[in-house]
C-alpha cells in the first residue's frame, strides 16, 4: 500500500490531500490544469519546498513529522512533462546516469530490458537534440525506470506531444504496465489516456482528492463529474474468446455475454479492455430481434440521474461491471426505468483499448 | 625586456590567476543564488555587483585604499588581530582586483545558470545524484561556456587594470608593479621601444584569450532539448 498525505500552501493555492493507492498497476491522478496534480507529484518526489505531510510506500517511510528524505534518497523514477534529457550527454549516458547511481544489489531493472521495453536500442549513440519529441520522452521513461524505482511518477508525459508521438508511446506504456512490477502514479487531464492505461483513478479538484477507486468504478460513479461529461464512458474488462473467420470478427468474453469487434490478431485468452461511450448505449425492455446491432447484453438498472432538461444518465450493472447509458428523459419515463429494472443494453460501438 | 618588466609580468600573471580563482570560488554560489532567488530586492545586489563596470577605477581604488589602510575598516581589523594593513601589498591588490573584476565573472555565470534553469538539477536529484554530485555532473558541464567566459574575462580584465592598482598598490617593483603600470612608466620615461613590446604583448595575449573563449564556446555549444 502507498499512503500519502500532504499539506502545501503556495500563495493563494492550497493543497490538502490524503489518499491510499494500490502498490501495483497504474494509478491515474486526474483533474483539470491547476488542481494541484503536479504539486502533489512533486511533493511525493521531495521536490516541493516546505511540505508538511507523510509518505509511506510498503515499509519505507520517506516523510513524516520528524523525517524528510531529500529527492536523491527516495527510490523513485520521475518523468517530467518535457523529457528534460541532459543535453550534454548522449542517450546512452543519459540512461546510465540513474542506473549507475543505484547500488548493484538494488538494481532490479536490467539495462537491456529497459532499452528494449521502450524501443530505444537504435538511439543509444544519438544526442538528445537529434531526437523527435516522442523519442526523447521514451528515453526519459527508460532513464527513470533504470533507477529501479519503488514507484514511477509520470507528470503528463504525453501532454506536450503531437498525436502521432502519443500513439507511438502508448503501446510502450501498455507493456510497461503489463511486464514490470513497478507501481506507476500517472498525472493526466486526458480521459483517453486514463481510460486506456489506468487501473485505479484518483480524482482531484482544487487541491483536494474528491474520490479514488478502481477505474471502471470511478468513470461511472454518478456522484462524480466524469459520468456527466458529454463523452462519458465505461470500461469493461474482457478476454479474447475466439475469432470468426467468416465475418472477420473477434469474439470477446465479458462479465456477462460476449462482445464482437472487428477481427484482430490477439491470442485466445488475452485480456483486453473495452471502452463504451454512454451515448452509444441504448436500452430495451425485451431482447431485441432483427437488429443490426451485434452487442446486446442483459443488464440491471442501478441508478438514474437527470442530465439537463431532456436527457438522463443511467448506470447499469452487467454482472458486476458498471456500464453507463445516456438516453432521453422521455424514453426513461416511457420505459418506466427505475433502480432494479431488468433491461437489455444495445451497444452500438465498442472500442478495443490495447 | 628589462628585469623589471619580467618582474611586472610575473606579478601580473600571479595577480590575475589568483583573482580569477578566488572569483570563481566566491562568484559561483553568488551567481547561482542571483539566478534562482525570488527575493524582491535582488536587483539591489545585482546593481552592486555591476557597479565596478561603471565606476571610475580611481574611485573604487580610493575607497579600497581607505578601507585597507591602518585606519580603515579592513586594515584596522587586520592590525587589531596582529596582522598588517593591506594597502601597498600584493594581498591588497588581490582584494582590490576581486572587487574590480567581480561583474566580469558573476554576470556570465548568472546568465549561464539562468539559461539552464532548475530542471536539470531536479532531474538529477530524482535520478539519485547528491548535491555535490549534481554540481559536478550537471551544473559544470551544462554551464561550461559560462564558466569559461567568466574565467577568461575575469583574468583578462585583471591583467588590464590600472587605476585601482595605482591607488592601492602603488608602484613597488617586484611586489605590486604590474604590466600596465610598467608600460605607463616606460612611456613616462620616453622608452617607447619597451612600451611597444609590453603593449603589443598584452594586445596579443588579450586577443588570443578571447579567440580561445569564442572558439571553445562554439565547440561546447550544446543543443537545447
Question: What is the share, in percent, of chain A residues with pLDDT greater than 90?
Answer: 56
- Smallest Cβ–Cβ distance between A147 and the set B119, B127, B142 belongs to B127
Contact check, Cβ <8 Å, A130/B223:
yes
Task: Give the mean model confidence (pLDDT) for residues A58-62.
Answer: 90
The answer to whether the beta carbons of residues B43 and B206 sit under 8 Å apart is no
CA A51, A53, A56, A57 torsion: positive or negative? negative
User: What is the percent of chain B where pLDDT is above 90?
Assistant: 36
A226 φ/ψ angles, rounded to the nearest 5 degrees: -60, -35
Residues 244-303, chain A, touching B (beta carbon < 8 A): none
Q: How far from A123 is each of A120, A130, B190, CA to CA, in Å?
A: 5, 9, 67
pLDDT tens-place string over residues B56-68: 988 988 888 888 8
B126/A76 CB distance under 8 A: yes
Sheet hosting strand A200-205, strand order edge to edge: A76-79, A151-155, A184-188, A26-30, A200-205, A208-214
Are the CB atoms for B52 and B60 separated by under 8 Å?
yes
Mean pLDDT of A57-65: 90
Distance separating alpha carbons of residues B84 and B76, to the nearest angstrom: 9
What is the rounded distance in angstroms from the CA atom of residue B193 to the CA atom of residue B223? 48
Answer yes or no: are the C-beta atoms of A354 and A171 closer than 8 Å.
yes
Give the pLDDT confidence of B161-185 residue by residue, as tens digits: 888 888 887 777 778 788 888 888 8
- Region A226-252: mean pLDDT is 91
Backbone angles phi, psi at A133, to 5 degrees: -55, -45
Which residue out of B112, B115, B123, B125 would a mutagenesis test of the A interface target, given it has the greatest number of A Cβ atoms within 10 Å? B123
Q: How far apart are CA B186 and CA B180, in angstroms?
A: 10
Name the more confident of B5 and A276: A276
> Can you give the pLDDT at residue A147?
92
Q: What residues does A297 pair with on adjacent strands?
A: A345
H or E, element range at A304: strand A295-307
Q: pLDDT tens, A97-124?
A: 999 998 778 888 889 999 998 989 999 9
Contacts of A84 in chain B (CB under 8 A): 119-120, 123, 225
For the sheet containing A13-21, what is the strand order?
A13-21, A2-10, A52-57, A60-64, A67-68
Q: Is the pLDDT of residue B225 over 60?
A: no
pLDDT over 50 at B205, yes or no: yes
* Number of residues assigned to chain A: 354
Residue of B nearest to A99 (CA): B127
Question: Which pLDDT does position B27 carry in this prediction?
Answer: 94
Q: Say whether pLDDT at A44 is over 60.
A: yes
Contact A72 B129 (CB under 8 A): yes
Q: Given CA atoms B65, B70, B75, B76 in this order, what sign does their dihedral have?
A: negative
Stretch B192-220: mean pLDDT, rounded?
Answer: 85
Strands A295-307 and A311-318: antiparallel
Outline where A56-156 has alpha helix (H): 91-100, 111-117, 133-145
Question: Does pLDDT of B220 surpass 70?
Answer: no
Q: Which of A84, A126, A145 to mutate to test the interface with B (most CBs of B within 10 A)?
A: A84
C-alpha angle A57-A25-A3 in degrees, rounded to nearest 5: 25
**How far does chain A reach from its first CA to its final CA, in angstroms?**
27
Residues A36, A262: Cα–Cα separation, whole Å:
40
Rounded Cα gap, residues A120 and A123, in angstroms: 5
A46-65 mean pLDDT:
87
Contacts of A56 (CB under 8 A, 6+ apart): A1, A2, A3, A4, A62, A64
pTM of the model: 0.83
Question: Which residues from B are below 8 Å from A102, CB to CB?
Answer: 128
Question: Can you say whether residue A227 is alpha, beta or left, with left for phi > 0 and alpha for psi between -120 and 50 degrees?
Answer: alpha
Q: Cβ distance A87 to A129 under 8 Å?
A: yes
**What is the domain partition of chain B in residue ranges?**
3-37+45-224
The pLDDT of residue A222 is above 60:
yes
Q: Please tell me the distance in Å from B125's CA to the nearest CA on chain A.
A: 5
In terms of CA atoms, which chain A residue is nearest residue B143?
A: A88
B161 compared with B79, residue with greater pLDDT: B161
Q: What is the pLDDT of residue B221?
A: 58
Q: Confidence class of residue B113 from pLDDT cuts 50, 70 and 90?
A: very high
pLDDT digits (tens, 9 = 90+) for A120-163: 999 999 999 999 889 999 999 999 999 999 999 999 999 888 88
Instruction: Say whether A346 sits in a helix, a strand or coil.
Output: strand
Residue B94's nearest CA partner among B40, B16, B41, B153 is B16
Q: Is the pLDDT of residue B108 over 70?
A: yes
Confidence of residue B81 (pLDDT cuts 50, 70, 90): confident
C-alpha dist (Å) from residue B157 to A160, A234, B13, B114, B146: 45, 70, 12, 23, 16
Ramachandran region of residue B213, left (φ > 0), alpha (ψ -120 to 50) or beta? alpha
Q: Chain B contacts of A101, Cβ < 8 Å?
A: 127-129, 133
CB contact under 8 A, A143 and B223: no
Nearest CB among A47, A70, A128 relative to B225 is that of A128
Tell me which residues of chain B have a C-beta less than 8 Å from any C-beta of chain A: 119-120, 122-130, 133, 137-138, 141-142, 144, 222-225
Q: Which three cell numbers stand for residue B135?
A: 554540481
Residue-level pLDDT at A83: 87
Q: Quick check: ipTM above 0.90?
A: no
Using the Cα atoms of residue B131, residue B134, residue B135 and residue B139 in order, give the sign of their dihedral. negative
C-alpha cell recorded at residue B42? 535582488
Contacts of B54 by beta carbon, 8 Å cutoff, 6+ apart: none
pLDDT computed for residue B176 by the predictor: 79
Whether chain B has a CB inside 8 Å of the CB on A70: the answer is: yes
CATH topology of domain B3-37+45-224: MetI-like fold (1.10.3720)
Amino acid at each position: 500500500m502507498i499512503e500519502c498525505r500532504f499539506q502545501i500552501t503556495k500563495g493563494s493555492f492550497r493543497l490538502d490531500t490524503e489518499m491510499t493507492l494500490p502498490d501495483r498497476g497504474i494509478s491515474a491522478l486526474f483533474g483539470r490544469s491547476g488542481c494541484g496534480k503536479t504539486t502533489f507529484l512533486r511533493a511525493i518526489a521531495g521536490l516541493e519546498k516546505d511540505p508538511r505531510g507523510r509518505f509511506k510506500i510498503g515499509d519505507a517511510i520517506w516523510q513524516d513529522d520528524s523525517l524528510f528524505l531529500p529527492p536523491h534518497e527516495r527510490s523513485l523514477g520521475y518523468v517530467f512533462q518535457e523529457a528534460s534529457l541532459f543535453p550534454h550527454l548522449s542517450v546512452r549516458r543519459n540512461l546510465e546516469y540513474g542506473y549507475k547511481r543505484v547500488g548493484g544489489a538494488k538494481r532490479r531493472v536490467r539495462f537491456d530490458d529497459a532499452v528494449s521495453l521502450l524501443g530505444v536500442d537504435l538511439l543509444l549513440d544519438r544526442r538528445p537534440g537529434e531526437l523527435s519529441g516522442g523519442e526523447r520522452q521514451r528515453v526519459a521513461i527508460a532513464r527513470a525506470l533504470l533507477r529501479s524505482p519503488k514507484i514511477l511518477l509520470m507528470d503528463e508525459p504525453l501532454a506536450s506531444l503531437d498525436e502521432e508521438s502519443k500513439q507511438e508511446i502508448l503501446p510502450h506504456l501498455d507493456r510497461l504496465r503489463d511486464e514490470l512490477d513497478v507501481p506507476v502514479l500517472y498525472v493526466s487531464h486526458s480521459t483517453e489516456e486514463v481510460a486506456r492505461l489506468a487501473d485505479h483513478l484518483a480524482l482531484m479538484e482544487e487541491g483536494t482528492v474528491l474520490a479514488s477507486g478502481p477505474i471502471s468504478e470511478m468513470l461511472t460513479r454518478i456522484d462524480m463529474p466524469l459520468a456527466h461529461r458529454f463523452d462519458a464512458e465505461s470500461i469493461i474488462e474482457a478476454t479474447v474468446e475466439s475469432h470468426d473467420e467468416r465475418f472477420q470478427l473477434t469474439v470477446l468474453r465479458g462479465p456477462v455475454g460476449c462482445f464482437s469487434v472487428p477481427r484482430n490478431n490477439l491470442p485466445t485468452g488475452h485480456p483486453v479492455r473495452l471502452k463504451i461511450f454512454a451515448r452509444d448505449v441504448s436500452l430495451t425492455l425485451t431482447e431485441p430481434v432483427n437488429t443490426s446491432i451485434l452487442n446486446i447484453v442483459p443488464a440491471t438498472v442501478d441508478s438514474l440521474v437527470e442530465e439537463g432538461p431532456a436527457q438522463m444518465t443511467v448506470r447499469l450493472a452487467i454482472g458486476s461491471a458498471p456500464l453507463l447509458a445516456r438516453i432521453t428523459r422521455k424514453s426513461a419515463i416511457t420505459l418506466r426505468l427505475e433502480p432494479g429494472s431488468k433491461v437489455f443494453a444495445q451497444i452500438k460501438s465498442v472500442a478495443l483499448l490495447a | 625586456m628589462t628585469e623589471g618588466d619580467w618582474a611586472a609580468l610575473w606579478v601580473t600573471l600571479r595577480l590575475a590567476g589568483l583573482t580569477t580563482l578566488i572569483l570563481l570560488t566566491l562568484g559561483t554560489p553568488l551567481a547561482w543564488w542571483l539566478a534562482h532567488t525570488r527575493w524582491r530586492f535582488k536587483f539591489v545586489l545585482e546593481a552592486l555587483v555591476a557597479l565596478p563596470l561603471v565606476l571610475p577605477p580611481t574611485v573604487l581604488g580610493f575607497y579600497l585604499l581607505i578601507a585597507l589602510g591602518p585606519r580603515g575598516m579592513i586594515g584596522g581589523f587586520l592590525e587589531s588581530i596582529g596582522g598588517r594593513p593591506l594597502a601597498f601589498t600584493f594581498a591588497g591588490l588581490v582584494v582590490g582586483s576581486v572587487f574590480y573584476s567581480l561583474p566580469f565573472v558573476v554576470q556570465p555565470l548568472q546568465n549561464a545558470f539562468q539559461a539552464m534553469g532548475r530542471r536539470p538539477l531536479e532531474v538529477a536529484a530524482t535520478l539519485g545524484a547528491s548535491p555535490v554530485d549534481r554540481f559536478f555532473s550537471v551544473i559544470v558541464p551544462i554551464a561550461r561556456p559560462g564558466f569559461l567566459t567568466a574565467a577568461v574575462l575575469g583574468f583578462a580584465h585583471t591583467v588590464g587594470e590600472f587605476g585601482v592598482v595605482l591607488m592601492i598598490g602603488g608602484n613597488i617593483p617586484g611586489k605590486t608593479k604590474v604590466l600596465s603600470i610598467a608600460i605607463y612608466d616606460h612611456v613616462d620615461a620616453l622608452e617607447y621601444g619597451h612600451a611597444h613590446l609590453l603593449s603589443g604583448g598584452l594586445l596579443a595575449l588579450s586577443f588570443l584569450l578571447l579567440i580561445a573563449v569564442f572558439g571553445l564556446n562554439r565547440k561546447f555549444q550544446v543543443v537545447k532539448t
